[in-house]
Amino acid sequence: MLLFVGLGNPGSDYAKNRHNAGFMAVDWLARQHGFSDWKAKSGALIADGRLATSKVILAKPQSFMNKSGLPTVEIARFYKIQPEDIFVFYDEIDLAAGKIRIKQGGGHGGHNGIRDLDRHLGKDYWRVRIGVGRPERSGDVHRWVLSDFAKDEQNGWLERLLSAMSDEADRLASHDTAGFQSRVAYLAPAPQADKENTDNAEEENGI
């Protein structure tokens, strides 16, 4: 059994925020793959279904981003799911908009949801990082992640990326993380960005 966790903030006011990219990813996956209806459990909304031959639990913690760890670890304990079988989807400002990167373990990079997960769960789970880019001015990060994706993003690269991630989710279920990342990048290429700024950000964060 696997656990796919999307990070975000609950409520309609936050639904289209960049910070809710993780919620969007698991919502899209649930719809496309016919998962059960969402139901409340342990401070989260969960849905269950299958990907390839694996049973998968989807979870969206409802305790706000910086308190995501406890609901996640309680669900993992209830279903006896080990960290290496947990995939967490979340927004990453140090990746250009439309890029994804997957890794197991690592630092939190200042992301409050990941910081809290590390505290409760340890660091051995998989991180599916969804690039949302940085604002032009570094002091605007908080406002940036809590602002909505622009309409052209929602109907353009974001929709293509979420669809591609859902299409290739079977690869994650079989732990083919390299294949998943490669196929998603092929199916949903990231829009052109300022290469120099992107390269600098990726270099600083060891990507």
Residue 127: name the closest of 24, 8, 9, 5 by CA.
5
CA 7 – CA 3 distance, rounded (Å) = 13
Catalytic residue among 19, 33, 120, 175: 19
Q: Which conformational region is residue 192 in: left (phi greater than 0), alpha (psi within -120 to 50 degrees), or beta?
A: beta
Q: Is 175 a catalytic residue?
A: no
Taking CB atoms within 8 Å and a gap of at least 24, the contacts of 66-70 are 66/112, 66/113, 66/115, 66/116, 67/116, 68/5, 68/7, 68/113, 68/116, 68/117, 69/116, 69/117, 69/118, 69/119, 69/120, 69/121, 70/43, 70/116, 70/120
Active site residues: 19
